[in-house]
């Protein structure tokens, strides 16, 4: 707790970035709990001491990996505001599904493992809110009210789970059917009484 914290800051440090990259590479194969100094040092081909210099604890390392992955997801689902809302939604959905498809084990470890620890949860909640904000902007909602937020968060969880289960189970469902399913559920949710409820609108206006 009394160690100097300075060296750990600064995402632009290339040696630190290389360690985070090694952690991201590991998370494609193992659970988040197995991302530790020993495994990262081995993967990056550096000493454990160097890993400890930048990340005094395993949790510091795991938080950095989760944060970088979350930034990647936010970047992936960022859409072109000049497009029509429906096109933006389709583009974000396609990019989001492609992101999950690329590293399904990693995505599951992050989206369904982060609540193990308050620090990890904080990073993941921030990312989730960021995705909801991006989606809302794409849909022309701007600042979603509390009811719309519930709908969007629920939809995001459905997309994650449907895509992860599709991949992990090897279900013989064409990708296009899955994408259409996610899109249609999203559209029907946004047209639901809850999303359009006066409760939500009144709360947002207050």
In this structure, how many other beta carbons lie within 10 angstroms of the beta carbon of residue 52? 16
In whole angstroms, give the CA distance from residue 147 to residue 128.
16
Q: Enter the tokens of residue 169.
A: 């189970």
Stretch that binds a second copy, among 3-11, 13-21, 92-100, 111-119 (CB under 8 A): 111-119
Torsions phi, psi for 84 (to 5 deg): -70, 150
Cα–Cα distance, 63 to 96 (Å, whole number)? 21
Q: In the complex, what is the shortest distance from the CB of residue 2 to a second copy, in angstroms, rounded to a whole number? A: 23
Applying CB under 8 A, does 111 fall inside the site for a second copy?
Answer: yes
Closest approach of Cβ 132 to a second copy, in Å?
10
Question: Given the complex with a second copy, which of 51 and 178 has the nearer CB atom?
Answer: 178
Chain positions 148 to 177 lying near a second copy, rule: CB under 8 A, are 149-151, 153-162, 165-166, 169, 171-174, 177
Reading the block at residue 184, the tokens are 């249609």
CB of 16 to a second copy, least distance (A): 23
Residue 85 touching a second copy (CB under 8 A): no
Which CB, 16 or 69, lies closer to a second copy? 69
Residue 117 interacting with a second copy (CB under 8 A)? yes
Is the Cβ of residue 98 or residue 203 nearer to a second copy in the bound state? 203
Q: For the chain, how big is the Rg over CA atoms in Å?
A: 19
Give the total of residues touching a second copy (CB under 8 A): 53
**Are the beta carbons of 162 and 181 closer than 8 angstroms?**
yes
Closest distance of CB 196 from a second copy, Å: 11
CB 150 within 8 A of CB 194: yes
- How many CB atoms are located within 10 Å of the residue 19 CB? 24
Tell me which DSSP letter residue 81 carries.
Answer: T
Q: Which of residues 27-56 bind a second copy (CB under 8 A)?
A: 31-33
Q: Which of 23, 67, 73 is nearest to 46 (CA)?
A: 23
Residues that bind a second copy (CB under 8 A): 31-33, 108-109, 111-118, 120-121, 146-147, 149-151, 153-162, 165-166, 169, 171-174, 177-178, 180-181, 184-185, 188-189, 192-194, 197, 199-200, 202-203
């Amino acid at each position: 707790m009394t160690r100097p914290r300075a060296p750990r800051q600064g995402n632009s440090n290339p040696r630190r970035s290389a360690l985070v990259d090694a952690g991201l590479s590991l998370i494609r194969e193992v659970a988040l709990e197995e991302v530790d100094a020993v495994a990262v040092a081995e993967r990056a081909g550096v000493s454990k001491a160097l890993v400890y210099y930048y990340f005094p604890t395993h949790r510091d390392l795991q938080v950095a990996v989760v944060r970088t992955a979350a930034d990647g997801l936010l970047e992936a689902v960022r859409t072109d505001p000049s497009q029509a809302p429906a096109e933006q939604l389709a583009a974000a959905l396609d990019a989001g599904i492609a992101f999950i498809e690329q590293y399904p084990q990693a995505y599951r470890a992050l989206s369904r493992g982060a609540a193990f620890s308050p620090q990890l949860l904080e990073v993941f909640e921030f990312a989730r809110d960021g995705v909801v904000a991006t989606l809302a902007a794409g849909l022309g909602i701007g600042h979603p009210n509390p009811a719309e937020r519930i709908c969007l968060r629920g939809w995001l969880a459905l997309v994650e789970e449907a895509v992860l289960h599709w991949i992990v189970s090897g279900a013989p469902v064409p990708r296009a059917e899955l994408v259409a399913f996610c899109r249609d559920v999203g559209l029907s949710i946004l047209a639901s009484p809850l999303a359009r409820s006066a409760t939500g609108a009144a709360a947002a206006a207050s």
